[in-house]
Structure 1
Amino acid sequence: MENDQITTAPSRLRAGFVGAGFMAEVHSRAARAAGAKIAGIASSSAASAARAKDRLGIEQAYASFQDLVEDETIDVIHVCTPNATHPTLTEAALAAGKHVVCEKPLATNVQDAAHLVELAATAGTVATVPFVYRFHPMVREARERIASGQTGRISTIQGSYLQDWLLSRDDDNWRVDAAVGGPSRAFADIGSHLCDLIEFVSGDRITRVGALSRTLFSGRANHKDVQTEDLVVAVFATENGTVGNLLVSQVAPGRKNRLLIEIAGSESTVQFDQEAPETLWLGKRVGSQLLVRDPDALSPEAARLSVLPAGHPQGYQDAFNAFVADTYSAIDGDIRDGLPTFRDGLRAAVLTESIIESSKCDEWVDVPHVKELEGVQ
């Protein structure tokens, strides 16, 4: 079946993982689905790596990341550790000639992200960041409808990404700590996904932002001086003159992972809701419709990512599997449309710093273009 190529890599890559938390579980499942050998894992300690080896069914636990990166049999390394560690680990992996999948944010500042982009280009290896919501089939359908002109001239964009896992003062996590998670939390963590999806689907770039942020709890269970934000609201303008707004919150009761984008054009509106990923709402002045995922009725890229027949729901892990499969295909020389690279990770860092700056100075901020940052160290 043609769609088999989405979930099976052309060759038997040997994948290594650093980090032993939830994202390592997601990455390892995706790597296994893509046909890789789940070869090794390193973590914060040898004991942590050993536990993860058994839990995730990985071939070998390494005493340290250095041991993992020096193993010449490892082809690709997945970096699934706290944010502040990403640049050091990724740089070491690139220096060792490894292909790299680095969790977002790629780095907690633009300078480090730009440096990693340059290192990856010099190494000539595949280097990707899991902006995996791009890999929902109905996201690709929305993108194609806008690119082909079916929606008409775009006038407005609305977006939100809402969660409630940090709703209470008693809720806590390492991401709350700016020294570990970076100076931005809610926006860097989930707002980066939202903006990536807005730009990917619309084919446009955010050029100006006006933002406000709020930290509801100055202290949490294990962190007494919280400096990172719980929510961000922003208005923006794009390169093509579109205007929009976005809301990002990790303190929205009842919202578990509600990422929604709505793009309005002169002919129709397209709306995608990540918590209902099998559908795309097409708004029209007369005769709005709910388009349900059906490979036989979708654009080629949307159909390619539809690995299950209509009526058999696909979700987050399927999207992650497709991202890793496309990463591994790129390693084998087959670069497919929409693969998010380190340059997309740099773009997220640029947007994050622009949002932080706007919120602090209470003014509009111009968002630099990534091309202006090439070679920054």
Structure 2
Amino acid sequence: MTTDVTGVGVDTIRSGLLGSGFMARVHSHAARAAGAQLVGIASSSAERAAQAAHDLGVDRAEPDAAVLLAAADIDVVHVCTPNATHAAFAAAALEAGKHVVCEKPLATTAADAQHLAAVAAASDSVSVVPFVYRYHPIVRDARARVARGDLGALLTINGAYLQDWLLSTADADWRAISADGGPSRAFADIGSHLCDLLEFVACEPIARLTARTRRVFDERGGRPVANEDIAAVLFETASGALGTLLVSQMAPGRKNALTLELHGSAESLRFEQERSEELWIGRRDGSSLLLRDPDTSVPDSARLQRVPAGHPMGYQDAFNSFVADVYAAVRGEQPEGLPTFADGARAAVLTEAVLESAQTRSWIDVTG
């Protein structure tokens, strides 16, 4: 890290990007908002890297990933490449002594993800996965209500993550090709976000599950497809609460409809990502909306609120707060709720359990 030009001794994080697609753009905006210097970027070709460096305002384009990972003037590597490459790039970044922000899935197998989590835990590196829905401030308010017992005993949970961007057989993407996207698509891509949010807010894990998956099209854009479009899950938590999850990338009209509803013996909570400024609170004698407000939120929520109440915050704001926490951890702080490689490995374990259950039509105990 370098010394700030003001001479006050503030460290500037020096960041590098692997990948040049949509997520690289999101990461670059968040890194810049957190005060980082965007030092280098590498992509699938030198030409793409050069274009991305120009478009994103990165200091230089590297000819390949190996050169970027070896660069002495990069502190943090953001891995924003296709899923099947995550594990190898994250491992190489750790070996190079970098701090690592790796897009989910951390790996396309649970074994690889757990190995990476173990390597990260044994290193001095900050190693994280962007489960950024944790960073909607109102989610922290919901978690605080659960933690202090406002819900009473947790009884049931209902969650969904619905999109429509792969509704047609003509809708093709590298995620639909198992060699690039991995054996799971819908669940690994967005179901992992839903499960992380669920376990984070509920303050307890999924203990066992049974699942069904569906692949609607065997071809997309003329290429064969082997991973799923839809997943439905029935589960039990560690305390015995029952829950259902529906994940689909073929729900007409739904863009990023991530919803989570928890029902306790005293009250219920409902969070909708597309209405991320509010939390529905249900009670037998009436319901109410808790609106985001730094003046009345719990401290862990208030610290994530960049603007006053009534000025909407959204997905990029949540991502910015996540990256700000990553860089705070690099500087030695311990921000609350930072999702680590251990959380990435947990998502990979749940994904494999869903695929195994769908194949065997059985209940799977989920550990790890």
- TM-score when normalising by structure 1: 0.94
Q: CA deviation at 1:118?
A: 1.8
The separation in 2 between residues aligned to 1:115 and 1:264, in whole angstroms, is: 36
| Structure 2: gaps of 5 or more residues | 1-9
- Summarize deviations over 1:256-282 as a string: whole Å, max 9, x none: 000000001111100000000000000
Alignment correspondent of 2:256:
257
Alignment correspondent of 2:3:
none
- Summarize deviations over 1:144-198 as a string: whole Å, max 9, x none: 0000011111100000000000001110100000111000000000000000000
1:12-31 matched pairs, under 5 angstroms: 12-31=12-31
The separation in 1 between residues aligned to 2:92 and 2:241, in whole angstroms, is: 41
The separation in 1 between residues aligned to 2:332 and 2:146, in whole angstroms, is: 29
The separation in 2 between residues aligned to 1:302 and 1:13, in whole angstroms, is: 25
1:93-104 matched pairs, under 5 angstroms: 93-104=93-104
Q: Is 1:168 paired with 2:168?
A: yes
Amino acid at match of 1:114: Q
Q: CA deviation at 1:20?
A: 0.2
Amino acid at match of 1:325: A
Amino acid at match of 2:346: R
1:205-224 matched pairs, under 5 angstroms: 205-223=205-223
Amino acid at match of 1:164: D
The separation in 2 between residues aligned to 1:130 and 1:34, in whole angstroms, is: 15
Answer yes or no: is the 8 Å Cα contact 1:41–1:49 preserved in 2: yes
The separation in 1 between residues aligned to 2:364 and 2:88, in whole angstroms, is: 30
- Summarize deviations over 1:9-28 as a string: whole Å, max 9, x none: x6211000000000000000
Alignment correspondent of 1:318:
317
Secondary structure of 2:209's counterpart equals strand
Q: Is 1:157 paired with 2:157?
A: yes
1:7-156 matched pairs, under 5 angstroms: 11-156=11-156
Q: CA deviation at 1:99?
A: 0.2
The separation in 1 between residues aligned to 2:157 and 2:88, in whole angstroms, is: 36
Alignment correspondent of 1:303:
302
Q: CA deviation at 1:247?
A: 0.1
The separation in 2 between residues aligned to 1:12 and 1:319, in whole angstroms, is: 21
Q: CA deviation at 1:123?
A: 2.3
The separation in 1 between residues aligned to 2:353 and 2:147, in whole angstroms, is: 27
Amino acid at match of 1:86: H
The separation in 1 between residues aligned to 2:245 and 2:119, in whole angstroms, is: 33
Q: Is 1:285 paired with 2:293?
A: no
Alignment correspondent of 1:6:
none
Q: CA deviation at 1:287?
A: 2.1
Answer yes or no: is the 8 Å Cα contact 1:268–1:284 preserved in 2: yes
The separation in 1 between residues aligned to 2:91 and 2:362, in whole angstroms, is: 35
The separation in 2 between residues aligned to 1:290 and 1:307, in whole angstroms, is: 21
Secondary structure of 2:220's counterpart equals coil
Q: CA deviation at 1:312?
A: 0.2
Answer yes or no: is the 8 Å Cα contact 1:159–1:194 preserved in 2: yes
- Summarize deviations over 1:222-262 as a string: whole Å, max 9, x none: 41x21110000010001111110000000000000000000
Q: CA deviation at 1:114?
A: 1.2
The separation in 2 between residues aligned to 1:235 and 1:69, in whole angstroms, is: 42
- TM-score when normalising by structure 2: 0.97
Amino acid at match of 2:101: V
Secondary structure of 1:358's counterpart equals helix
**Which consecutive segments of 4 or more residues in structure 1 shift more than 3 A?**
none
Answer yes or no: is the 8 Å Cα contact 1:213–1:230 preserved in 2: yes
The separation in 1 between residues aligned to 2:359 and 2:33, in whole angstroms, is: 44
- Summarize deviations over 1:341-377 as a string: whole Å, max 9, x none: 0000000000000000000001111112x2xxxxxxx
- Summarize deviations over 1:98-150 as a string: whole Å, max 9, x none: 00000000000011111111221232100000000000001000000000011
How many residues align? The count is: 360
RMSD across aligned C-alpha pairs, in angstroms? Answer: 1.0
Alignment correspondent of 1:3:
none
Amino acid at match of 1:202: A
Secondary structure of 1:167's counterpart equals coil
The separation in 1 between residues aligned to 2:142 and 2:46, in whole angstroms, is: 45
- Summarize deviations over 1:304-350 as a string: whole Å, max 9, x none: 11111000000000000000000000001101110000000000000
The separation in 2 between residues aligned to 1:283 and 1:50, in whole angstroms, is: 52
Alignment correspondent of 1:375:
none
Amino acid at match of 1:363: S
The separation in 1 between residues aligned to 2:210 and 2:196, in whole angstroms, is: 17
The separation in 1 between residues aligned to 2:176 and 2:40, in whole angstroms, is: 29
Q: CA deviation at 1:33?
A: 0.3
The separation in 2 between residues aligned to 1:87 and 1:282, in whole angstroms, is: 40
Answer yes or no: is the 8 Å Cα contact 1:95–1:123 preserved in 2: no
Secondary structure of 2:119's counterpart equals helix
Answer yes or no: is the 8 Å Cα contact 1:186–1:248 preserved in 2: yes
The separation in 2 between residues aligned to 1:188 and 1:40, in whole angstroms, is: 28
Amino acid at match of 1:22: F
